Structure 1
Amino acid sequence: MMVSFSFAQQRSGYGILAGYGINAHLADFRSFPQYPNCCPQFSHGKGNAPIFGIFYDFPLTSTSSFSTRISYNDYQATLTSSEFIILSGNIQGEYQHIIEASLQNIGIESYYQYSPYHQLNIALGLRYAFYVQPTFSQKELLIKPLVGTFPNGSRSRNEFIDQSIPFYQSNSFGPVLGLSYQLPLNALQTLFVLPELQVYYPLNDIVSQNDWHIHQYRCGLSIRYSPFPHKDIHKTYKDITLIDTITISVKPPFTEFTRGISALSVDTLMSPDSIVYLTIQKRTDTIKYGHIKQLQVNISAWAVYDNNREEPLIKIVDEEFTSVLMTPLLPYVFFDKGSASIPNRYQILEHQQLLSFSEDSVNSDDRLSTYYHIMNIIAKRMKLYPQATLKVIGCNADIEEEQDNISLSKQRVESIKQYLIHQCGVESSRLKLEYRNLPEKAANSKTKDGAQENRRVELIGSIPEINAPILTNETIRTINPPIVRFKSKVIHDNPLEKWSLKSRLTDSVFQLYKGVGDVPAILEWNIDKQKGKAAFKQSKLDYTLIVDDIEGMSTVNKDSIPVEYLSIKKKKTERIADKEINRFSLILFDVRSSDINAINKPIIQLIKTYIKPNSSIIVKGFTDKHGDIKKNEKLADERAKSTAKALGFSESSGSVYSQGNADTYSPEYPEGRLYTRTVDVIIETPIVNE
């Protein structure tokens, strides 16, 4: 291997150059004096010729230098002009006038050179040249017609060969602009090759009595020799041994060392004042050693609260509260497309079951499961209020097979009527039957969701109690924190094969995660949604992470978190601060509206009766996933704020949240979407233990 050095300082140099010139001639004359020529005008010409020369340069600064050149050049060119005429007999004729000029010259060039970047040079200078007996040849040719001659009997005339150019200027001078790049040819950087490009523009005309001048574009190579000042070269000799080591991990406790085979090479390092001769010995050794591969696992549990707030998990609290749960009733029964049969998802009870039916028993946080008893709830209330009547209004989507299909609306009413009369025992005289196409407040049937929502039977009582929300006094449990976030960190040498994480509160409340490959950094368990009905008495949260790698190594990390159970009785006995949590909902807002309509105004008045001076209020607005997400987010926020305003609470006593495109219930059926388009109101009121 040869190592070369680059030197920043400039040095004097000299050399030879060779290149090629491309000549562009611009002219405005007809002929040379004393030489007849019928050309109407010569305007341009072109040519090319070789360039040879020698040069010398010396430095001015570390980035600039001065250069002088002596070179041979030739501005030769061929000037042509075509002339089109009409000959006798209306024949199209064409003459071509040609001048071939030889403009050999010897010139001196002086440059200032600047090096802005490494070996790149920009040159600006002047050239002064002497012409060496410039000559020309000319002739005129008959091109068309293809037959015929000039009056001299030939197809050419006014032909002259190697004539001296009359009144030529003895010299030419003008600026030169150039660009070159210096490339070293040897290790000491004393010999260089320089590719270069130049433009030369003489300022004077070639002939004193004619308008005729040139531009020349040059490309070429220079060979430059730039010796260092003479000095003694210091020579040294060095031996170098280079050893590479390859380590291979094997099963312990085996260890082995293998010495590699040496390879010999020589090299030379050169600089302006020294030469270093190297003898290099290289070899590669191999070490096999027994490495005990590691597999370490760490897992921790964190509490996750509202707004994704995270804290270390110290304990889990299972707490009981007294509560009022209000579930609004959606007074619609929805039907499948083209069908009058009551869908299977609605709860159809036998007569004996209806006798013991209680709406309190079906009221729960899962509003849809409560809603699917809508016919049973309304039938029960009709029994409680014998003075009430019930409108049963059949509707359809009024498109496709349901278009103007009043008969289908009537059949749907008949299905509801038969159930209310024969199963529930409601007198037929109290049922007011109506049939129509679209509902009075219809959705857009041109959309799939809108058409679904219009295929319904409406059940509207004559008194508010028939369609009033369900109010249930109950005991509820909350798990705090509601979500546990497990964070894992695994250190391993071998790739992982499989893992499992099991978290357990009771035999019926547990969560199992498992997978292959790497363990996810974060796994979450929503305990509050999975808590079930049984309290976590004398319980604890156990969690265990098991990880196996591909070589059969396995490790386990486990831990426990205590669970505290706070019953209403315990809080009262031990005088622990307690509170009442009441939950309400508003549904059936008008389409794309946040106004509190006539359906929701009675609910607002009911909610106000539960608000005390020391109550804290949370209002949450939701929309389903139907429509533009930004518009839905805005609508959810407007409905939440409209509800808060109607309740009359201040920012200090409550909080307002919203979520567009919520996934509270599946959007597959209309009731799922309608119960997602809601505003929830949660009122927490401290209880003073006497």
Structure 2
Amino acid sequence: MTKRISALLLAVLLATPVLTAQWWKVTLPEDVWLTQVGITAHGAYLMHDARFSLPQAPMCCEPYQSSTAGSMSVSAFVRQEITKHVRLNIRGSYVPMAGTFTQDQSIFVTGAIRGLTRSTLETSMTFVGGEILADVRVADPIRLMAGVTIGTLSGATFSQREDLIQPGTGTFENGRRTRNESRGVALQNVSTSHMGATFGVGYDIPMTENHSVVVTPEFLYTAALGDNISGVSWRTNMVRLGASIAFSLNAPQPPTPVERRREEIVDSLIVRIAPDAEEYRTKGQERIVLDTVVDADLVVITERVSRIDTVYIPEPPVINAAIRARAIDEKGALQDVFTINVTTQYVTEALPILPAIFFDGQSITISPRYRQVSKSSEFDLPSVPPRTTSVHREILNILGERLKLSPAMTIQLRGTADPTTENADCNLARSRAVAVKDYLTRVWGIEDARITITAGAGSCAPDRVTRRMSEEGYAENRRVEISSNDLALLASVAKRRFNEARTVNPPRLQFDPAGTSTKFITDWTLEARSGQTQLFSKSGKGLPEVVTQDLPLTTAELMTSGMPVDVELKVKGIRRSSAEATTKINVRKDTANIELERLTLTLFEVASDEISAIAEEQIKSFVENVPAGSTVVVRGFADMLGNAEFNKKLSQKRAESVCATIRKHLRKRVDLQCNDIATDRFPPGIESYNTPEERFLSRTVQIEVKKSRK
């Protein structure tokens, strides 16, 4: 399907004024034979080619030889183009021509002693004359020059003397060390007509567009064709390097600049293509119309271009989402129609304190698994969830609050290090204890004297080492152990009554996205909520997949309000497309009429069933309030990392030890059950064995008192 839309795209491209040979007027420098006047300035290098002695200034023995000197020259010139490649150049030049000649000669002085004299001749003259040069443009802008130089030498004078160089003492016959001395004597027989042949190369640089001003760097060589003085072998050749500046008398008027502009008028023809194709454009054939506007100082040429482009645009994709929820029963069968049944029971539980803080390998920094506050007012114990792991996460703040409220309490900290991976390093162990002490003093303001760090001697492994040769075992030995002069510091957290999920059926759910689009989808998210509480969320790339979700008791506890579970599938596709689908699962909550009162003991060491003093005190306090005729269930747990049969026997022994302690302190008739052993599931409040604290909290015995709910 095509649809034509009129879209006007006006793009005005303003070109800068052209500064080269782009003119409105047609008279160019190449069209005119230029007549130019100007001046030149050169540095000159004089080369005196000589072998002479002056008749006016006799000297002994050898004549003067060649010498060199520096000078300068200035010229005024007129030059005329004969063609655009050949021009005639007439110059009037002025060149000072000085020279200094020296000649050393051997002589005999008194007593036949050999000596050395030096004759020095200094000359000065000026060349005034003209040059006629023809220059040819061989490759624009390079020009070769050749011609003659004709002039006269004027103001020619000389000075001469002969000096005694050796020996260092003695004089000439005149009593001095200088003889034959003369100054400023006019040279005789100077050539009145001085000629030379000149050759050179130049490089024209126009300074204006119409060549009204041209600068030419140039190099010239002049070879003298005659002697400077008649009858004397003395010629002066000359090399000149400099530049000329020429002003054209008949240069054309500066051209009118041309400004070019371009305007584009584009219509678009829209063609819809597949959603997963890429958008592209093809340009149509251009129609060009030129419009020229001539002004006094500017010519504007506007190029108006019109065309029709074809634009291929992908169709917006249409995607849809669908989600279907099914129950999976204990046997793995699927049920299309179902309700999530959650049974709950009111529980009053005293949550235990685990008197240890665990550290990462080789670390002295308190783990982020433990909540740390910046000031004590940020801690609120009633807001801590009623779970053993949540209580342990707050152990630093619970200890700090109890120490702050009871000034007579003291606390002992003993750091330990793993003997296998940390070599039971006492420095490492002590630094861990110092980190705990620092937190209690800095945040909770506990006096330094109330906190004692117990140092190890030689080895700082725990007294009861976890000997499992694995990272799980090593991690349990990296800790700070806590003790106190007052058992109340490590007493269970005060009893709290809450509604605990006991069972959930079905045990797992399946979410099937059948009916969701199978094309154009890039990613998806599946989320389930109970009211404002998220139960779980999963996401992925590409097409959504069938999701199987377990319903553990921790998830069931989020559904104890009985509100329906809202499940939403969101899919996103290409071109920012999206779709959503929802389904609702009803939840039925059933609260048992029997209420539990629970005490959890977590003071068992690894592979031990020994009841500690703290545990015995907790049991004694707990059974004092058990009503006569109640049912008391003692349930033993062990972590599932070891041998299953060993764990079962260990759990039984722990339960029997607790039952013996209950019988020791119980003065009422109750139904005491000591054979409920749980080695195939986590204790309440424990979700994994990933951390050492979770494994310690699983080595426990729970005492439950069943009574009717009021």
TM range (shorter): 0.3 to 0.5
Taking structure 1 as the reference length, the TM-score comes to: 0.43
